[in-house]
Chains A and B, each alone.
Chain A
Amino acid sequence: MKGNIVGHSVPKVDAKAKVTGKALYATDLYMEDMLYMQVLRAPYAHAVIRKIDLAQALAVPGIVRIITKEDLPGLKNHGLIFKDQPALVGIGEKVRFTGDTLAIVIGESNIQVRKAIKKIKVEYDKLEVITDPLRAMEEDAVTIHTAGNIVCTHKLDKGDIVRGFMEADLIVYNEFKTQHVEHITLQPDAGLATLEEDDTICIWAATQWLHDTRVDVAQAMGLPVEKIRIIQPAIGGAFGKREDIIAQLHLAIAVREVKRPVKTIYSREESIIATSKRHPMIFRFRTGVKKDGTLTAWEATVIGDTGAYASSGPAVVHKGLYHCTGPYDCPNVRGVAYTVYTNNTYAGAMRGFGATQTAFAYESQMDIIAEKLGINPIELRLKNAYQVGSTTPNGQKLYASVGVKETIIKAVEAFERLGGVIR
């Protein structure tokens, strides 16, 4: 049987709408009687809010409503893994990063809303701002969340690490650090919400997980799930960022209060300040290796900065740990990973989900080992590369389709074909 899909180049289903500009993204939705929403973000990265004065902002022409936590005492936290993130921070509560929200401002035009936001006066008491996860882990560091600054700890133990180091001719220790990375989805975060006659809240906003978003918005607002409807418009890029709730909850709160369609578009700066990032990670690797390049032991400590809220952090940082040896087989591995709160912008999913950060560290470690042993770095990799029968650090046996060696050989060939020289 021969079809016309598999083995054929098939145009994307929405490609025509996109090349003609007809595809509608959340930014492109307009409704009659529509209002605009923007939120006031935290004035400081770690502080207790004492007073929010709305008087001057409410006097700006065109402002319809300003919502603060005091209007919604029952509002619950949201979050992908832990419910640790507030949609609104109220009086006496803490802001934990500069993206936390203090007020939702709704008005007839975006310009008016922006003017009003500048006129809200906030009084607050500053707390120590922790931007370094190592500081966050110290005994005397102020706790960002009541349960402490370490969100969770993951461990890894394979083989006999002590024996592994005893068998080694050389032990190499290094520390590697990676930085925040912003997804820069080309479409800025945006959304539109309406309130239907039966009080169902409809939200049009780019999301990667419609059902999770729906459930999380419902539980935060204390509404039955059926009262939340998420409609997916065209998505202008996501790359993991749009796994988290971004504007959906604020829109739902706003539309319920004003009972008119509400739209929001973030500026690029706001998107960078308020939405998730790739986790910066610290890797401490101690690797044991024989003279001939055979890996004998790999000890790893991974510290992932998940910022003010956990988001996908526990899963991302855990993954950073169990990829610690990369595609290289090592019989004895021990590791620990800490997911740590700081006052940085929260970090979540981004392309590779923790594996990319680790790749920088283990590939650097392999190069350093090759140099110390005087072995060609490609040979070192081929010698240790996974093959059928290898076991990963978390104990998964690879029983089929392991293409690491082949990939390395092909990559070297391609490199040489393009004029690269391997020393």
Chain B
Amino acid sequence: MGDNRLMIKVTVNDRLYELQVDPELRLVDLLRDELGLTGTKEGCGKGECGACTIIMNGKTVNSCMVLAFQADGSEILTIEGMGDGEELHPIQEAFIRQGAVQCGYCTPGMVLSAKAILDKNPNPSEEEIRKGISGNLCRCTGYQKIVDAIKDAAEVMGGGGDER
């Protein structure tokens, strides 16, 4: 360690970081251990559970499946970057409103996958939602409330009449 460190530049939640990273450091470790962004969770380390999902250059990725130095030059959004300061993002509000949060460990990844779904299609079908969250495991609620929350968020964000 030490000698082989690589210099990278990454933008995380609109903030530019210039960092020296160990080549064996994974992106999830960089975010959590070095940048203190512990909202990104690790559940399996093998891309199976999606708890470590972040949005990288506009696409969801498992941050346990990326080496930190591979993220050089990229733009990253983590759960800490959702919403606007104190204001929650409509997806986060919908998750609370629909009871889509139980133990909460899948929630950050789930919210980011939801964002990717709605960024691609503001009016997704139930099937598109289910496919969109198929890389995120939840062990508590089952998926129905999460699907409901994403539908709810789509309505709110699309300005549809349903105010609730």
Binding site for B on A (CB under 8 A): 9, 11-12, 14-25, 27-28, 30, 111, 183-188, 234-239, 265, 267-268
Contacts and interface: CB of A to CB of B under 8 A. Distances in A.
A93 B111 CA distance: 49
B80 A20 contact: yes
Interface in B87-141: 88, 92, 95-97, 99, 101-108, 111, 137-140
Nearest to B91: A19
B45 interface: yes
A186 B38 contact: no
* Most A Cβ at <10 Å: residue of B38, B46, B97, B105: B105
A18 B101 contact: yes
B106 A186 contact: yes
B38 A24 contact: yes
A350 to B, nearest CB: 12
Given A21-B78, A236-B41, A187 B99 contact: no
Contact of B138 (A9, A186, A239): A186
A186 B45 contact: no
B49 A186 contact: yes
Contacts of B99: 9, 12
Given A11-B96, A16-B88, A20-B88, A237 B105 contact: yes
Interface residues of B, number: 40
B107 A18 contact: yes
B43 interface: yes
Interface string B67-80: 00000000000111
Given A24-B38, A185-B103, 8 more contacts: A12-B99, A15-B104, A16-B92, A18-B107, A20-B79, A22-B39, A184-B139, A268-B46
B10 interface: no
A12 B79 contact: no
Contacts of B39: 20-22
A12 B106 contact: no
A24 B38 CA distance: 8
B152 interface: no
21 contacts: A9-B99, A19-B95, A19-B101, A20-B39, A20-B79, A20-B82, A21-B40, A23-B104, A27-B38, A27-B41, A185-B103, A186-B41, A186-B106, A187-B105, A188-B44, A235-B103, A236-B41, A237-B140, A238-B103, A268-B45, A268-B46
Contacts of B140: 186, 237
Interface string B2-40: 000000000000000000000010000000110011111
* Most B Cβ at <10 Å: residue of A28, A186, A239: A186
Tell me whether chain B's interface is mostly helix, strand or loop, or mixed: loop
B51 interface: yes
* Most A Cβ at <10 Å: residue of B37, B44, B102, B104: B104
B79 A21 contact: yes
A412 to B, nearest CB: 22
Interface string B133-155: 00001111000000000000000
B83 interface: yes
A241 to B, nearest CB: 11
Contacts of A24: 38
A237 B139 contact: yes
Contact of A186 (B24, B32, B36, B137): B137
A17 B78 CA distance: 15
Nearest to B137: A186
Contact of B96 (A15, A111, A184, A234): A15
The 6 nearest A-B residue pairs measured at CB: A21-B39, A18-B104, A236-B105, A21-B79, A28-B38, A19-B92
A12 B139 contact: no
A156 to B, nearest CB: 33
Contact of A25 (B45, B88, B95, B105): B105
Nearest to B105: A236
B38 A12 contact: no
A20 B92 contact: yes
Contacts of A111: 24
A185 B105 CA distance: 9
Nearest to A238: B103
Contacts of B138: 186
Given A184-B139, A186-B49, A187-B103, A19 B88 contact: yes
Given A268-B43, A268-B45, A186 B95 contact: no
A38 B82 CA distance: 34
B139 A185 contact: yes
Given A18-B101, A239-B139, A187 B95 contact: no
B163 to A, nearest CB: 15
Contacts of B78: 21
* Most B Cβ at <10 Å: residue of A12, A19, A238: A19
B41 A25 contact: yes
B51 to A, nearest CB: 6
